[in-house]
Amino acid sequence: MNIFSGLEEIVETSHPLAKHTWYGLGGPADYFIRPKTVKQLKEVVRRCNENRIPIYVLGFGSNLLIGDEGLRAAVVKLETDEFAQTKLDSEKVTAWAGAELSKLVLTCVQKGLSGIEALTGIPGSMGGAVKMNAGGNFGDIASAVESVTLMDIHGNIFEKKKPELVFDYRGTNITAKFILNAQLKLTGADPEQIMRTVKETWIYKKNNQPLNTKNCGCIFKNPRGVSAGALIDRAGLKALQIGGAIVSEKHANFISAEKGCTSKDVMRLIDAVRQRVKEQFDIELELEIEIWK
Ligand SMILES: Cc1cc2nc3c(=O)[nH]c(=O)nc-3n(C[C@H](O)[C@H](O)[C@H](O)COP(=O)(O)OP(=O)(O)OC[C@H]3O[C@@H](n4cnc5c(N)ncnc54)[C@H](O)[C@@H]3O)c2cc1C
């Protein structure tokens, strides 16, 4: 019998993942599943466990490099129906995993709610933003999140609140498989003032990041007290190219995928950059992006 019988509406087989990543790279997933409700998600998890199918949770794929061979697994994307909701109640916002971060930022600006405008220009979903503690020079999502609702790999749902919920540089202490939603605490402010911050942040990003290319944001975390981009630049690696993957001239911590690029090209370029930075500065660059292969 089909492993996912009765769930055909939300399950696709041999589904190409490239169109779900910002890189536009990645082979097929054995199962690509888009549950519409928490109940359906629980059922998907149960069937995967019963059949020993590994699960990957995909947001909007803006921090991911997926291998050319794809994944012998179930890739679960929480993006529709129940999972796309956002609820604003005075200064409290509940944003579900599939809500789009950039849209939420703008909604909050319009409502005169300050707290996440620093996330302007960061693509992705709420689930991905929380998991990665998305942010940068202007602040990160940690400062706005009060609590999260999670589901573990056995289908148990529970809440995690600060101070048990801890964020650090591009990460959290969330170990549960699924972030279902996040509760944010924002503060009332003048919409025009918040909009000015949004615009300034956006202009900064436009001037400093290769936004018109296929990329995945910063490849490496900044080592303590140093910018990874500056190290790569000082090592003379801007414009270094392997196959269709190229180190951006605009921001050396970005690797862009040109026409014909494969995931393998990006992985080889990542290795080359790491090796050269290690040789020159004796610093091991740590990945900020996630590689699924
Ligand atoms: C042009 C560009 C600029 C960027 N600039 C920044 C920046 O300034 N600052 C910054 O921090 N990042 C930046 N990024 C990286 C990226 O946008 C963020 O990391 C973003 O938060 C990832 O969200 P996503 O939904 O795309 O997650 P994905 O890339 O799909 O997934 C990232 C991780 O989150 C996990 N995940 C996603 N959803 C869930 C969920 N519901 N439950 C559990 N786990 C989940 C995935 O399993 C994976 O481990 C940039 C990326 C691009 C392409």
Residues 246-271: tens digit of each pLDDT = 999 999 999 999 999 999 999 999 99
Ligand 1 mean position, distance from CA 215 (Å): 12
Please state the rounded mean pLDDT for residues 267-278.
Answer: 98
113-114 and 135-136: which strand pairing?
Answer: unpaired
- How far, in Å, CA of 114 to CA of 201, rounded? 14
Burial 39-57 (b: 16+ CB within 10 A, else e): ebbbbbbebbeeeebebbb
Ligand 1 mean position, distance from CA 1 (Å): 36
Top mutation candidate among 100, 122, 143, 219 for ligand 1, by most atoms within 8 Å of CB: 122
User: How far is residue 270 from each of residues 138, 155, 183, measured CA to CA in Å?
Assistant: 27, 36, 36
Residues 192-248: tens digit of each pLDDT = 999 999 999 999 999 999 999 999 999 999 999 999 999 999 999 999 999 999 999
Ligand 1 mean position, distance from CA 5 (Å): 31
Q: Which atom of ligand 1 is nearest to the CA of 22?
A: 53
Pocket residues: Cβ below 6 A from ligand 1: 22, 57-64, 78, 97, 122-125, 127-129, 131-132, 134-136, 170, 178-179, 209, 211, 215-217, 290
- How far, in Å, CA of 105 to CA of 116, rounded? 6
% of the chain at pLDDT higher than 90: 99
- How far, in Å, CA of 206 to CA of 211, rounded? 7
| Alpha-helical segments (H) within the chain | 38-50, 101-110, 126-132, 191-208, 228-234, 263-281
- Whether 20 and 211 have beta carbons less than 8 Å apart is answered as no
- Whether 167 and 160 have beta carbons less than 8 Å apart is answered as no
pTM (2 d.p.): 0.97
pLDDT at 258: 98
- How far, in Å, CA of 205 to CA of 210, rounded? 9
